[in-house]
Amino acid sequence: MSDSNNDHFKSDRLAAWIKTDWLPQHPTAVTVWTSVSVINETVVERIDRAMSFDGYRFTTSELIDCPVVANIRQLDDRSFVWRQTGAFVYHFTPEAGGDGLDVLVMCAQIHEVGWSFVVLAALPAQFKKGWTAFVEESNRLDESYDQHDRVIVIGGRQNSFVPTVEWDEIVLPSALKSDLLNDVDAFFKKGVGIYMRLNLKPFRKLLLAGVPGTGKTMLCNALAKWAIAEGYLVIYISSARKTSNEEEYTTSFSKIERALEAAASSSVPTLILLEELDAYLHEDEKALVLNVLDGSEAPLNTKGTLLVSTTNYPEAIDERVLKRPGRLDRVFIIPEVKTEVDAVEMLKRYLGAMWNEDFKSFAHELVGYPGAFIREVAIYALTQVAQDDLPDLPLPLLEKSFKALKAQIDARDNFLKQRSFGLGDPLRSLNGGS
């Protein structure tokens, strides 16, 4: 059978299955040829869930069983699905409420050599305009997709994590900064070889712990930018849901699993960033996470995989994780601002051209607060300067900004204290309990 005849045969088989198995349950559907871009998994994940397609928003897609076409996946150089064959249902929800609609997408390879495809879509007749817009957006994203990007985002939109922070911008004790970066650098450049000689998987795990606002996310961002400059692959695991109606845990083990699979297939050293490790240790999946941290179920990347995780609540992390050797190789405590020198450096960074040497006399007020608080003090003050069209930032205005934000924090803490200790259990009160 010639390639041409074989191609037509495959197209006919897809069309016949749609006619006999799909259309009886979807009588208003019409079958159309469609673009191969819509079966690029990376493109599908990048579709903006808030984007309107003729009054509908795309939510998710799912693979369905189909006897006439197998699910075959082509991976890019980052081990992400670039093209795939199979039968898929794409779900759309109306912006104004009401019933959603489904689009069947079927794809088959049409040449024995190479990756060429026939793609058919069965969609409600009233959704032709919306589907056309969806295909156009998929084509646009497909054309802009760079298979050699060095950042993979799992669980969120691809552009939701962009490494922009320079290492020198991080304001932390210099010993802590150098210790952390040296640990990461030494593992990739020397440690991987040691692990391999000892017949161990070159998989290292670090934890950054500290109260909210101390700069853990900025640290991750800076580490990512450094890793990219070194030619490494960066994988960022987002805790965000892909859709508002997704039933799986926001922090699902499947995200960690996918990241490790991508790392194992990488041809370069790989840095995995996992924020809020504590959120992944829920009872349903804790054992799976523990096995991965042990290394027993972590796929092998001979170039080395380094997992950097963060937590605001180290006390919520199981002792089996924190204290068992090998599950977390090192824990770095990211502190609040400890010295006036650090407070000054942070103020300088956020105030920029509005910095004044007179502000050094105010720096002692900021000791003991997390970096995020200092940032808000600076932003609040700069906003007032802009609103009042002031030529510069006077010290009294900076002090006023600090006092205003501190008062908000104190009011919040007092409220929470009253709710917890003065008025009984708020949940019981809301439910009619005494």
pLDDT in tens, 40-79: 887 888 788 889 999 999 999 999 999 998 888 766 545 5
Backbone angles phi, psi at 342, to 5 degrees: -65, -40
CA pair distance 215, 350, nearest whole angstrom: 14
Please state whether beta strands 233-237 and 270-274 pair in parallel, antiparallel, or not at all (unpaired).
parallel
- Separation of alpha carbons 406 and 211, rounded Å: 17
Average pLDDT, the chain: 81
Q: Model-level pTM? A: 0.58
pLDDT tens for residues 211-244? Answer: 777 888 889 999 999 998 888 889 898 765 444 4
Higher pLDDT, 201 or 185: 185
334: its two tokens: 């990211």
Residue 335: DSSP 8-state: P
Angle at 64 between CA 61 and CA 67, to 5 degrees: 145
As a whole number, mean pLDDT of residues 288-308 equals 77
Count of C-beta atoms within a 10 Å radius of residue 18:
21
Return the residue matching tokens 């991965």: 292
- Residue 248: pLDDT band (50, 70, 90) is very low
Domain 340-422 has CATH 1.10.8.60: yes
Q: What is the C-alpha separation between 394 and 312, in angstroms, rounded?
A: 35
How far apart (Å, rounded) are the C-alpha atoms in residues 69 and 334? 52
| pLDDT score recorded for residue 121 | 96
**In angstroms, rounded to a whole number, what is the distance separating the alpha carbons of residues 382 and 376?**
10
Is 41:47 a contact under the CB 8 Å cutoff? no
Q: CA 258, CA 288: separation in Å to the nearest integer?
A: 13
Q: In a 3-state reduction of DSSP, which class is residue 383?
A: helix
- What φ, ψ does residue 408 adopt, rounded to 5°? -65, -40
Structural domain spans, the chain:
3-146, 167-333, 340-422
Answer whether residue 3 shows pLDDT above 50: no
**Model pLDDT, residue 322:** 67
pLDDT of residue 125: 95
pLDDT tens, position by position, 156-197: 655 567 888 889 888 888 888 899 999 999 999 999 999 888
Read off the pLDDT band of 1 (50, 70, 90).
very low
DSSP 8-state secondary structure symbol assigned to residue 284: T
What integer pLDDT is reported at residue 38 of this predicted model?
92
Asked if residues 128 and 103 have their Cβ atoms less than 8 Å apart, the reply is: no
> How far is residue 328's CA from residue 318's CA, in Å, rounded to a whole number?
12
Decide: helix, strand or coil at residue 251: coil
The set of residues, in sequence order, having a beta carbon less than 8 Å from that of 211 and lying 6+ positions away, is: 312, 336, 370
Question: For 148-160, what is the mean pLDDT?
Answer: 67
Q: What pLDDT is stored for residue 246 in this prediction?
A: 43
Q: How many CB atoms lie under 10 A from the CB of residue 276? A: 19
**How many C-beta neighbours within 10 Å does residue 75 have?**
16
Q: What is the largest CA-CA distance in the chain?
A: 85
> DSSP states of 57-79 as a string?
EEEEEEEE--TTS---EEE-TTS
What pLDDT is recorded for position 72?
A: 80
Q: Please, are residues 83 and 36 in contact by the beta-carbon 8 Å criterion?
A: yes
The CATH number assigned to the domain with range 167-333 reads 3.40.50.300
| Fold matches, 167-333 and 340-422 | no
Residue range 376-394: mean pLDDT, rounded? 88
3-class secondary structure, 209? strand
Give the burial class of 171: count Cβ atoms within 10 A of its Cβ; 0-12 exposed, 13-18 middle, 19 or more buried. Answer: buried
Most confident of 144-158, 176-190, 245-259: 176-190
Range scoring the smallest mean pLDDT among 23-27, 36-40, 171-175: 171-175
pLDDT of residue 25: 93
Query: Lowest-confidence range among 115-129, 280-294, 371-385, 409-423?
Result: 409-423
pLDDT at 58: 96
Of 77-91, 97-111, 124-138, 383-397, the one with minimum mean pLDDT is 77-91
